[in-house]
Amino acid sequence: MKLEKSEFAEPLLHTRLTRKIENYILMDYYIQGGFLPSVSQLKETFGISKITIEHATRNLANLGILKVEPGRGTRITLNAKEIITELRRDQFFNRMVPEFLWTATMLDQPLEQIMEDIQNQIKEMKGELKEHQIHNREIFKDQERDERRFMARCEDFKREEPEAWNSKKFLYDRQKYHRLKQKYTPTRRKL
């Protein structure tokens, strides 16, 4: 899951991290209204520097996808998915389609043949995409099940051994428990 660093990488590393965070939001791995993992957790997950993570989160905050709450963390806005979807739609129609059309004019094929080839590829991609989405749903269901089991074990341990639970030995488990509790506790929306 680590992002590869490359001297000639396009786009830049912080841009790729921004895209990955957006994808996690779209796939509900990071929940709207919930908090993004801490910088140190993101650093561990993606294997990149704190500066790169801060750059990516600042970009997302400027777009209205994230909101930094001093002393609490970085919250994912309630309309993050809509913002991401609109940005990607604009990028597709304003950059990718014109670039494609310009490239298509350079080919020695009639436009009708190119469009037919595209339709065939889209049909193939739809099937692959559906399989990929089903696979991702299964992975996230398994992950959620494991996370909820961990939370239940923590709650039992906390009840049975409160002194041990509050000891330094279980600091990592307490932090993970609170992060998961926050993830699976629905947030109240202001009316």
The pLDDT of residue 165 is: 86
In a 13 Å sphere around the CA of 135, the CA atoms on its Cβ side amount to 6
| CA 94/CA 90 separation, integer angstroms | 6
The pLDDT of residue 70 is: 87
The pLDDT of residue 8 is: 43
- At residue 75, the 3 state secondary structure works out as strand
List the beta bridge partners of residue 106: none
The pLDDT of residue 118 is: 85
The pLDDT of residue 83 is: 94
Record the pTM.
0.57
The pLDDT of residue 66 is: 95
Q: Judge contact between 151 and 180, C-beta under 8 A.
A: yes
The pLDDT of residue 51 is: 93
Q: Which CATH architecture has domain 1-106?
A: Orthogonal Bundle (1.10)
Tokens standing for residue 157: 């341990």
The pLDDT of residue 7 is: 45
The pLDDT of residue 2 is: 58
Q: Domain ranges in the chain?
A: 1-106, 108-191
Q: Judge contact between 59 and 14, C-beta under 8 A.
A: yes
Instruction: Quote the crossing angle between the two packed helices 80-91 and 13-26, to the nearest 10°.
Output: 120
Digitized pLDDT (tens) for each residue of the chain, 191 residues in all = 555 554 444 678 888 999 999 998 988 788 888 889 888 888 888 888 999 999 999 999 999 999 998 888 899 999 999 999 999 999 888 988 888 888 877 887 887 888 888 888 888 888 888 888 788 778 878 888 888 898 899 899 889 988 888 888 888 888 888 888 877 776 555 54
Distances (CA, A) of 61 to 50, 65, 155: 16, 6, 34
Peptide bond into 11 cis (omega under 30): yes
The pLDDT of residue 44 is: 85
